[in-house]
Amino acid sequence: MSVLVYTESENGSFKKIAHEAVAYAKGIADTMGTNVTAVSVNGGDASELGKFGASKVLEVSNEKLKNFNAEAYADVLAQAAKAEGANVVVLTSSANSKFMAPLVAVNLDAGYVPNVTELPSSTAPFTVKHSVFTNKAFSNTEINTEVKVIGLGKNAYGVKENETSVTTEAFSPSLSDDDFSTEVVSVDKATDKVTIADAEIVVSAGRGMKGPENWGMIEELAETLGAATACSKPVSDMGWRPHSEHVGQTGKPVASNLYIAIGISGAIQHLAGINASKTKVVINNDPEAPFFKAADYGIVGDAFEVVPQLVEKLKEFKAQNN
């Protein structure tokens, strides 16, 4: 019996969501009176995971797994779960986790619940709360299988430290050619930009910016804050910004600590997509914009005046506080 957690890494170091996932797994393990085993595929320094509550790290080191491959990774995780006799397998809401979790669930004949927002309210029966209807509601769902697969929602639990003594063990999964029947040919990823998925702060802009040529100030604001940039649906539909920046019900969900919306009126679909963000700020010249009802802080004003002022003020603030 144990709680198994997948710890995502990039270029040999663990991502922040891996720390959060371990912390969450530790929360479950404590209520069930068991321990956390982490699975690390070509990952970072295993002792790092002890800080967040892992008792054991299964280290998989395999050149064939250099690129993420959902089928192979899912197989690794399922084999590890069987070897450890895990009752609960924790993944996250990253693109890779969401890709592999359904495969893991079928492999383990397990019920799978994604977008989980808190620790289980009960472990027998196993009941978890998760967001549905794109954050417009939550469902308390019971998983009735022996093994449970949980997808932790974005930024839902927080990175909680829980120093635990940790051992490492090499784990060699048996992989066949079938595991590699999809092959990654090339990866196109901007390495110098903060992604919406990882960002603690997201700066998002809409039609109020009047045209793609005016995005300079949005990017400057994002850069000042170390934030990712995002946009509303009309802006991506008109091709002002790439689809990958579209936030909302049919775009990306955002669950950042701070979401700043500039010149976005706040259509219901957009608000649903950003609902899981903790603090929301709106800057809009229309005081009747629906976004003001969803926001925590608002400035009624012209973005073309307010944003440059905000950039200046933040630069000053950063200079004083660093």
Partner 1 sequence: MKILVCISHVPDTTSKINFTDGDTKFDTNGVQFVINPNDEFGLTRAMWFKEKQGATVHVVNVGGPETEPTLRKALAIGADEAIRVNTPATDGYSVAKQLANVVKDGGYDLIIGGRESIDYNGGMVPGMVAKMIDANFVNTCISLEIEGDSATAIREIDGGKETISTKLPLVVGGQKGLVEESDLRIPNMRGIMQARSKPLSVKEPVDANAKTSTKAFEKPAPKGAVKLVDNVDELVNLLHNEAKVI
- Closest CA relative to residue 5, chosen from 18, 14, 16: 18
Of 172 and 279, CB closest to partner 1: 279
Q: Which phi and psi (to 5°) does residue 246 adopt?
A: -65, 120
Contact 70, 96 (CB under 8 A): yes
Is residue 286 at the binding interface for partner 1, with CB under 8 A as the rule?
no
Given candidates 2, 94, 164, 229, which one binds partner 1 under the rule CB under 8 A?
Answer: 94
Amino acid at 221: L
Query: Quick one: which H or E segment has residue 201?
Result: strand 201-205
Return the DSSP state at 9: E
Ranges within 240-279 binding partner 1 (CB under 8 A) = 243-244, 246, 249-251, 257-258, 268-269, 272, 275, 278-279
Here's the x/- map for partner 1, 52-71, by CB under 8 A: it reads as ---------------xx-xx
Is residue 222 at the binding interface for partner 1, with CB under 8 A as the rule?
no
Query: How far is the C-alpha of 284 from the C-alpha of 281, rounded, in Å?
Result: 10
Given candidates 185, 213, 288, 319, which one binds partner 1 under the rule CB under 8 A?
Answer: 185
CB of 13 to partner 1, least distance (A): 15
Given candidates 32, 95, 119, 159, which one binds partner 1 under the rule CB under 8 A?
Answer: 95
Ranges within 101-160 binding partner 1 (CB under 8 A) = 101-103, 105-107, 110-115, 127, 129, 131-145
Is residue 23 at the binding interface for partner 1, with CB under 8 A as the rule?
no
The stretch among 30-38, 58-66, 162-170, 292-300 that binds partner 1 (CB under 8 A) is 292-300
The two structure tokens encoding residue 1: 């019996």
CB of 170 to partner 1, least distance (A): 27
Given candidates 186, 213, 319, 322, which one binds partner 1 under the rule CB under 8 A?
Answer: 186
Q: How many residues does the chain have?
A: 322
Is residue 39 at the binding interface for partner 1, with CB under 8 A as the rule?
no
**Beta bridge mates, 170:** 59
Of 167 and 193, CB closest to partner 1: 193
Ranges within 187-216 binding partner 1 (CB under 8 A) = 187-190, 193, 195-198, 200-201
Query: How far is the C-alpha of 200 from the C-alpha of 187, rounded, in Å?
Result: 24
Query: How far is the C-alpha of 198 from the C-alpha of 188, rounded, in Å?
Result: 17
Query: How far is the C-alpha of 222 from the C-alpha of 228, rounded, in Å?
Result: 6
Of 169 and 268, CB closest to partner 1: 268
Query: How far is the C-alpha of 181 from the C-alpha of 294, rounded, in Å?
Result: 46
CB of 291 to partner 1, least distance (A): 9
Return the DSSP state at 246: B
Query: How far is the C-alpha of 290 from the C-alpha of 309, rounded, in Å?
Result: 24
